[in-house]
Amino acid sequence: MSTDVLAQVYGALAQFASESRLYELTLEKQDDYGSGGLLVEAFFADDCLQETLARDVIALSTSATIRPADLVGQRATLQASLADGSRTAFHGLVSHAAMLGSEGGFARYRLRLSSWLWLATQTRNSRVWQDKSVADIVDAVFGDYAPYADWQWSDDAQALLNAIPPRSYCCQYRESDYDFVRRLLTEEGIAWRHEDGEDGQTLVLFADSSQQSATPEDASSAAGQGLRYHAARAGEKFDTIQALHTTRQLVSGAVAVISYDYKAKAAVSASVPTRINDLGKHAHQPESYDYPGQYFYASSAEAERYATLHMQLHEARSQQHQGRSTVRTLRAGTRFDMLQGPLSLDGEAQSYVVLRVLGVGVNNLPTAAKRGLAELFGPIPELLEELAAAARELPGDFRTTVEKASASGYANSFAALAADVPWRPAHHGGEGRQHAKPSAMGSQSAIVVGEDGQDRPQGGKEIHCDHLGRVRIRFHWQETADATCWVRVAQRSAGGGMGSQFLPRIGQEVLVQFLENDIDRPIIVGALYNGQGEGGIAPTPGGQTAGAAQQPFTSAHDHAPSGQGNTAAGNSPVWHGLAAGSGDHRNTAAQWGLRSKEFGGSGYNQLLFDDTDQQGRIQLRSTQSATELNLGHLLHNADNFRGSLRGQGAELRTDAYGTVRAGAGLLVSSYKITHSAAQREPVGDNTAGIAMLKQAVKLGEAFHEAATKHKTVGLTAHTGLPDAKEEEPPLKQLQTAVSGMVGSASMEAALADAGDRSTSPGKDKLPHTVDPIIAISAKEGLAMSAARDVQFAVGSVATVMSGSDTQLATGGQLRVHTMEAIGMLGGAVKPGERELGMQFIAARDNIDVQAQAGTLDVMARDTINVKSSNAHIDWASAKKISLSTAGGANITIDGGNITVQCPGKIEIKAGKKSFVGPAQEAYKLPVMPRSEVKDEPINFKLLLSDVPGKYGRPLAERPWRIVELKNPSGDPYNPKHIRQELASGTSSASGECELDEMQKKAIWSAANKAQGTLFMVSGPNITPLVISNLTASATDMAERKILDAHNYAVSQDHLDEAHKQMLKQWAESDYENRLTGNPKNETLV
Q: What is the DSSP string of 1013-1080?
A: -EEEEETTEEEEEEE------SSS----EEEEETTT-S--TT--HHHHHHHHHHHHHHHTS-BSS-TT
Using CA atoms, how far apart are residues 471 and 504, in angstroms rounded to an integer?
7
pLDDT at 236 over 90: no
Query: Using one digit for the tens of pLDDT, what is the confidence trace for 747-782?
Result: 888 888 888 888 888 888 889 888 888 999 998 888
Task: State the pLDDT confidence band at 224, using cuts at 50, 70 and 90.
Answer: confident
Q: Which residues contact 183 (CB under 8 A, 6 or more apart)?
A: 175, 427, 436
Task: State the pLDDT confidence band at 1054, using cuts at 50, 70 and 90.
Answer: very low
Q: What percentage of residues in the chain have a pLDDT greater than 90?
A: 29
The answer to whether 642 and 557 have CB atoms below 8 angstroms apart is no
Q: What percentage of residues in the chain have a pLDDT greater than 70?
A: 83
Using CA atoms, how far apart are residues 584 and 685, in angstroms rounded to an integer?
44
Q: Which residue has the higher pLDDT, 576 or 486?
A: 486
Q: Which CATH architecture has domain 2-117+367-392?
A: Roll (2.30)
Using CA atoms, how far apart are residues 411 and 414, in angstroms rounded to an integer?
10
**For residue 347, with 0-12 CB atoms within 10 Å meaning exposed, 13-18 middle and 19 or more buried, which class applies?**
exposed
pLDDT at 246 over 60: yes
pLDDT at 586 over 80: no
The answer to whether 657 and 578 have CB atoms below 8 angstroms apart is no
Using CA atoms, how far apart are residues 630 and 51, in angstroms rounded to an integer?
69
State the pLDDT at residue 434.
Answer: 55
Using CA atoms, how far apart are residues 1046 and 1069, in angstroms rounded to an integer?
14
State the pLDDT at residue 280.
Answer: 58
Q: List the beta bridge partners of residue 362.
A: 42
The answer to whether 342 and 244 have CB atoms below 8 angstroms apart is yes
Q: What is the 8-class DSSP label of residue 543?
A: G
CA distances from 494 to 513, 565, 920 (A): 18, 35, 101
Q: Which residue has the higher pLDDT, 4 or 622?
A: 622
Q: Which residue has the higher pLDDT, 460 or 91?
A: 91
State the pLDDT at residue 411.
Answer: 94
State the pLDDT at residue 1071.
Answer: 47
State the pLDDT at residue 345.
Answer: 54
Using CA atoms, how far apart are residues 1003 and 994, in angstroms rounded to an integer?
13
- How many other CB atoms sit within 10 Å of the CB of residue 587? 22
Quick one: average pLDDT of 945-974?
Answer: 80
State the pLDDT at residue 263.
Answer: 79
Query: Using one digit for the tens of pLDDT, what is the confidence trace for 812-858?
Result: 888 888 888 888 888 777 777 777 888 888 888 888 888 888 888 88
The answer to whether 778 and 670 have CB atoms below 8 angstroms apart is yes
For 189, list phi and psi in degrees, rounded to 5.
75, 20
Query: Using one digit for the tens of pLDDT, what is the confidence trace for 251-306?
Result: 888 899 999 888 778 899 999 988 877 665 666 678 888 888 778 888 899 999 99
The answer to whether 592 and 575 have CB atoms below 8 angstroms apart is yes
Query: Using one digit for the tens of pLDDT, what is the confidence trace for 540-572?
Result: 555 555 554 455 556 677 787 766 655 445 667
Task: State the pLDDT confidence band at 390, using cuts at 50, 70 and 90.
Answer: confident
Longest dimension (CA), the chain: 193
Quick one: average pLDDT of 641-648?
Answer: 87
Q: What is the 8-class DSSP label of residue 928?
A: P
Query: Using one digit for the tens of pLDDT, what is the confidence trace for 412-460?
Result: 999 999 999 999 998 876 555 555 666 787 899 999 999 888 888 888 8
Quick one: average pLDDT of 964-982?
Answer: 85
- List, edge to edge, every strand of the sheet that includes 627-638: 591-595, 605-610, 617-622, 627-638, 641-653
Chain center to CA of 717: 56
For 971, list phi and psi in degrees, rounded to 5.
-105, 120
pLDDT at 584 over 60: no
- The helix/strand/coil state of 726 is coil
The answer to whether 769 and 738 have CB atoms below 8 angstroms apart is yes
- The helix/strand/coil state of 197 is coil
Q: Which residue has the higher pLDDT, 39 or 953?
A: 39
> Taking the model in full, what pTM does it have?
0.70
Quick one: average pLDDT of 932-953?
Answer: 67
The answer to whether 666 and 694 have CB atoms below 8 angstroms apart is no
State the pLDDT at residue 1072.
Answer: 47
Using CA atoms, how far apart are residues 230 and 340, in angstroms rounded to an integer?
8
Amino acid letter, residue 317: R
For 980, list phi and psi in degrees, rounded to 5.
-160, 155
Q: Which residues contact 15 (CB under 8 A, 6 or more apart)?
A: 366
Please choose, from the candidates 587, 584, 625, the residue with its C-alpha nearest in 3D space to the C-alpha of residue 608. Answer: 587
Q: Which residues contact 615 (CB under 8 A, 6 or more apart)?
A: 632, 633, 635
> Which helix (DSSP H) or strand (DSSP E) does residue 203 occupy?
strand 201-206
- The helix/strand/coil state of 595 is strand
Q: List the beta bridge partners of residue 129.
A: 170
Query: Using one digit for the tens of pLDDT, what is the confidence trace for 32-54?
Result: 787 778 889 999 999 999 999 99
Q: Which residues contact 37 (CB under 8 A, 6 or more apart)?
A: 25, 26, 61
- Report the top-level CATH class of 444-528: mainly beta
Choose from 43-52, 697-706, 977-986 the range with maximum mean pLDDT. Answer: 43-52
Whether the upstream peptide bond of residue 379 has omega within 30° of 0, thus cis, is: no
Using CA atoms, how far apart are residues 351 and 225, in angstroms rounded to an integer?
12
Using CA atoms, how far apart are residues 135 and 132, in angstroms rounded to an integer?
8
The answer to whether 377 and 101 have CB atoms below 8 angstroms apart is yes
Using CA atoms, how far apart are residues 88 and 82, in angstroms rounded to an integer?
7
> Which helix (DSSP H) or strand (DSSP E) does residue 889 occupy?
none
> Which helix (DSSP H) or strand (DSSP E) does residue 704 occupy?
helix 687-709
State the pLDDT at residue 1049.
Answer: 39
Using CA atoms, how far apart are residues 252 and 235, in angstroms rounded to an integer?
47
> In the structure, how many helices (H) and strands (E) does the chain have?
16, 45
State the pLDDT at residue 362.
Answer: 93
State the pLDDT at residue 447.
Answer: 92
- How many other CB atoms sit within 10 Å of the CB of residue 5? 19
CA distances from 660 to 123, 343, 652, 775, 1059 (A): 68, 94, 11, 13, 20
